[in-house]
């Protein structure tokens, strides 16, 4: 095997095994920063050895054994080893004596370990940006450079976020555990928020040239699927998976041949991924089967399902969507939700009804720099024949968006108004 081929194989193995490896190590050493360092040491050992020896039959177990040996060496060499480290070192050495290095499963408790790692990386003590970066690093297997490219920020910024996040978790003595009772609901909401933030940045990039970044969507979908396997009794987990799968089904249709954005009404629905739609509808059915009122993600998934079930844009059940947005607004009041409700009401009951709702949002501080508010108002004003006002709104939307593709789309709308 050539060195290049070996490195490609190692990269693939790392993407698959890194989260489980870090999770298992974090449970043993009680610190995800130390766990990641040990995992990185194991990766370096693999990069040195595997091009010569070939990929082992059980690469995850090989990496775990290498990381354990590295941990033992570190604890042995430490001049001032505390009682905790001494205990951990002894436990690791006992584990090494009890099982062969390369043939044993990575860990019998790997499901629980992964769940602990997810809750730790997404802990509310961290800022949103830090939670996203740490989750993609530890659970997505992305390098610092890949995360920086995905979010269009300097590599040094991402590196600092990750370092500070690990230090914050250590200083706050965050337990490597799955929360219980009422704490679970708050912590789970934090986890779901992070996963959906990653997905949304891929589905509708906030800045840069690209309208979509499918790789980020795939990372979020993978995290969501893992979470659904680990927490099968949580309806909102299935709701989020459903929402992401159905929205991701449209990715190919959201971009034109030259990379230009294609909005939902104009999309070629034959290009929608029917497999992802079926997966999404099945996940939504699981969320509904668990009983109780639908949560925010399940409600959004139900809205997405209305679009997915419509053979053509004109077949969309906008009245149903408007009622779902009304339920979502009652559950999680938000000006963005209200703006989406305005769109649905406008489609179902006419542009004047939608514009009335949208007009009430003008002046709301949270939407002061939100380009979609003037864009939506422009759509209603156009339908009502008030083109001069619509043009003003579109010009305002152009100044507010940071995505180049969206800016071009809005300029095209201005041009069509001028022609007419």
pLDDT of residue 108: 40
- Whether residue 183 contacts residue 123, with contact meaning beta carbons closer than 8 Å, is answered with no
pLDDT of residue 221: 93
DSSP letter string over 263-298?
-GGGS-GGGS-HHHHHHHHHHHHHHHHT-SS--HHH
CATH of the domain at 331: 1.25.40.10
Give the pLDDT confidence of 133-146 residue by residue, as tens digits: 998 888 877 888 88
Residue 125 within any structural domain of the chain: no
Residue 71 within any structural domain of the chain: yes
Model confidence at 346, pLDDT cuts 50, 70, 90, reads: very high
Give the pLDDT confidence of 363-405 residue by residue, as tens digits: 999 999 999 999 999 999 999 999 999 999 999 999 999 888 8
Residue 33 within any structural domain of the chain: yes
Stretch 250-266: mean pLDDT: 90
Residue 404 within any structural domain of the chain: yes
Residue 375 within any structural domain of the chain: yes
Give the pLDDT confidence of 50-84 residue by residue, as tens digits: 888 888 888 888 998 988 888 887 776 655 555 56
Residue 229 within any structural domain of the chain: no
Q: Give 115's Cβ-side CA count (13 Å radius).
A: 18
CB atoms within 10 A of CB 337: 19
Share of the chain above pLDDT 90, in %: 49
Dihedral (C-alpha) 169, 173, 178, 184: value to the nearest 10 degrees?
-80
Give the pLDDT confidence of 314-343 residue by residue, as tens digits: 999 999 999 999 999 999 999 999 999 999
Residue 223, pLDDT > 80, answer yes
Model confidence at 92, pLDDT cuts 50, 70, 90, reads: low
Q: Which of 108, 128, 146 is the last residue of a domain?
A: 108
Residue 107, pLDDT > 60, answer no
Question: What does each C-alpha distance from 337 to 3, 95, 279, 341, 344 come to in angstroms?
Answer: 52, 52, 25, 6, 11
Name 192's Cβ contacts closer than 8 Å, sequence gap at least 6. 236, 237, 240, 297
Q: Which of 79, 108, 137 is the last residue of a domain?
A: 108
For the record, the structure tokens of 18 come out as 């890194």
Question: Residue 185, class by beta-carbon neighbours within 10 Å (0-12 exposed, 13-18 middle, 19+ buried)?
Answer: exposed
Residue 396 within any structural domain of the chain: yes
| Total number of domains in the chain | 2
| 417 vs 357: CA distance, rounded Å | 23
- Strands (DSSP E) contained in 74-206 are none
Between residues 278 and 147, which one has the greater pLDDT?
278
| 160 vs 178: CA distance, rounded Å | 26
Residue 379 within any structural domain of the chain: yes
Q: Residue 411: give the domain boundaries.
A: 325-420
Angle (CA) 374-208-146 rounded to 5° is: 135
Provide the mean pLDDT of the chain: 87
Question: Residue 119, class by beta-carbon neighbours within 10 Å (0-12 exposed, 13-18 middle, 19+ buried)?
Answer: buried
Q: Which of 45, 79, 108 is the last residue of a domain?
A: 108
pLDDT of residue 103: 42
Reduced 3-state DSSP string for 144-157: HHHHHHHHCCCHHH
Handedness of CA 217, 223, 225, 231 (dihedral sign): negative
């Amino acid at each position: 095997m050539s060195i290049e081929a070996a490195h490609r194989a190692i990269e693939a193995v790392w993407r698959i095994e890194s989260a489980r490896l870090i999770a298992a190590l974090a449970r043993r050493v009680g610190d995800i920063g130390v766990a990641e360092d040990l995992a990185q040491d194991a990766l370096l050992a693999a990069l040195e050895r595997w091009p010569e020896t070939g990929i082992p039959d059980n690469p995850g177990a090989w990496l775990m054994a290498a990381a354990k040996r590295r941990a033992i060496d570190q604890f042995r060499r430490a001049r001032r080893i505390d009682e905790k480290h001494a205990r951990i070192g002894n436990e690791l050495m006992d584990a090494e004596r009890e099982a062969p290095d390369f043939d044993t499963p990575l860990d019998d408790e790997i499901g629980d370990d992964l769940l602990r790692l997810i809750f730790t990386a997404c802990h509310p003590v961290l800022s949103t940006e830090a939670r996203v970066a740490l989750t993609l690093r530890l659970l997505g297997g992305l390098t610092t450079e890949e995360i920086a490219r995905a979010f269009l920020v300097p590599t040094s910024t991402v590196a600092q976020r990750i370092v500070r996040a690990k230090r914050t978790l250590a200083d706050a003595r965050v337990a490597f555990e799955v929360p219980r009772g009422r704490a679970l609901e708050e912590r789970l909401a934090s986890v779901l928020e992070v996963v959906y933030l990653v997905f949304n940045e891929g589905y509708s990039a906030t800045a840069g040239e690209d309208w979509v970044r499918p790789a980020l969507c795939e990372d979020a979908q993978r995290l969501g699927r893992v979470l659904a396997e680990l927490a099968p009794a949580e309806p909102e987990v299935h709701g989020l998976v459903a929402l992401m799968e159905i929205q991701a089904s449209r990715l190919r249709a959201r971009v034109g041949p030259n990379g230009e954005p294609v909005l939902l009404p104009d999309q070629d629905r034959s290009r929608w991924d029917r497999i992802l739609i079926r997966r999404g509808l099945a996940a939504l059915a699981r969320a509904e089967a668990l009983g109780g009122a639908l949560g925010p993600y399940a409600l959004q998934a139900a809205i997405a399902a209305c679009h997915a079930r419509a053979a053509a844009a004109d077949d969309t059940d906008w009245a149903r969507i408007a009622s779902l947005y009304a339920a979502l607004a009652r559950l999680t009041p938000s000006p963005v939700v209200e703006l989406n409700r305005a769109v649905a009401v406008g489609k179902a009951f006419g542009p004047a009804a939608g514009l009335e709702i949208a007009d009430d949002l003008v002046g709301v501080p949270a939407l002061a720099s939100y380009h979609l508010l003037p864009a939506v108002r422009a759509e209603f004003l156009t339908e009502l024949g008030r083109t001069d006002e619509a043009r003003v709104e579109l010009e305002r939307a152009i100044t507010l968006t940071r995505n180049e593709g969206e800016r071009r789309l809005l300029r095209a709308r201005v041009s069509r108004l001028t022609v007419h």
